[in-house]
Amino acid sequence: MQNTQIVWAIGAAFAIAALLTPLMLPFLRRLGAGQSIREEGPSSHMSKTGTPTMGGIAIIGAVIAAAVAFGGIGEQMPVMIFLFLSFAAIGFADDYIKVVYKRNLGLTALQKLALQVFVAALGAFWISRISAGGTTVYIPLVRTYIDFGGFYIIFAAFVVVAMVNAVNLTDGLDGLASGVTAIVAACLTIIGMGTGAFQASVFSASVFGACLGFLIYNRHPAKLFMGDTGSLALGGALAAAAISMNATLILPLAGGIYAAEALSVIIQVYVFKTQNERRFFRMAPLHHHFELGGWSENKIVTVFCLITTVLCLLAITVL
């Protein structure tokens, strides 16, 4: 019965996202929610200027509807929805400032980080109070649990903030973030089914289905972008699901592409500031490095999705 509900959650989320996304396009165009392209980005992206953004709203609606309908409201679902919606709200505020006030950077870095840390800390504390494992963390390779005690909230909050920003950095090519996230969400769905974390599994399945439905319109050439509304929400969703099913430490493996994208930015900034403005990569995040190396968007997305699939299979095996 539970497996059937998970399948239905995937189908419902896919259908809602696939139907809701095109319905939003006229509204977003009237709102003037066109994407502004950074001048320092790849020149080939300038043609995308004006493409509607904030399409992540469709993903959010699809995930919430499917997750609640087929997962119910128990102990875990509210906190996952809280993190999902809270980061969606931060992303929406960022997108709204960009669209309405024509400020390409949206919220300042400090404002965004402060809001993210606050939300992540609340979510981590909430999970520590309702989780059957309390403040323990499962260590996959040695197959044991370690009680993090008072450090747990700091650890979990760090994972959430790191995941949110890593997914956000990955959202730079048509279909990249939605494609990679769909695969990671499918991985978490399988892990949740195997560990008996039903609600976390249904929630992950809903993310998987919604990303696939959105991908119909987000694949190259994209008819709309998810914006920070979608990318921050998806990062929060993956982190919330993984922490809820005590599979937190599997995220760096399953989400290896996210980690690589974030690490490329860190390395680029460090080398630039310490080596007389030299650049380690042609451009960061990592997908732009390959793009400037002559790879097409479709090739990068395909390769990154294939790598994610392999990493997720390894993650399932390890866990």
Please give the pLDDT value at position 35.
Answer: 57
Q: What is the token pair recorded at 191?
A: 């892990």
Banded pLDDT at 209 (limits 50, 70, 90) = very high
- For 60-71, the pLDDT digits (tens) are 999 999 999 999
Query: Read out DSSP for 146-166?
Result: EE-GGGHHHHHHHHHHHHHHH
Before 285, cis peptide (omega within 30)?
yes
What is the pTM for the complete model shown?
A: 0.92
Please give the pLDDT value at position 50.
Answer: 67
- For 276-309, the pLDDT digits (tens) are 778 888 888 999 999 988 999 999 999 999 999 9
Number of domains within the chain? 1
- For 116-125, the pLDDT digits (tens) are 999 999 999 9
54 vs 49, more confident: 54
Q: Is 140 helix (H, G, I), strand (E, B) or coil?
A: coil
Residue 131 DSSP symbol:
-
Q: What percentage of the chain's residues is helix, strand, coil (to nearest 5)? A: 75, 5, 25
277/79 Cα distance (integer angstroms): 43
140/248 Cα distance (integer angstroms): 10
With contact defined as beta carbons under 8 Å apart, do 250 and 242 qualify?
yes
Q: Which domain holds residue 117?
A: 2-318
pLDDT of 38 strictly over 60: no
What is each CA distance from 266 to 167, 262, 273, 285, in whole angstroms? Answer: 15, 6, 11, 9
Location of structure tokens 């995937």: 10
76/156 Cα distance (integer angstroms): 15
Q: Is 7 helix (H, G, I), strand (E, B) or coil?
A: helix
Residue 282 DSSP symbol:
S
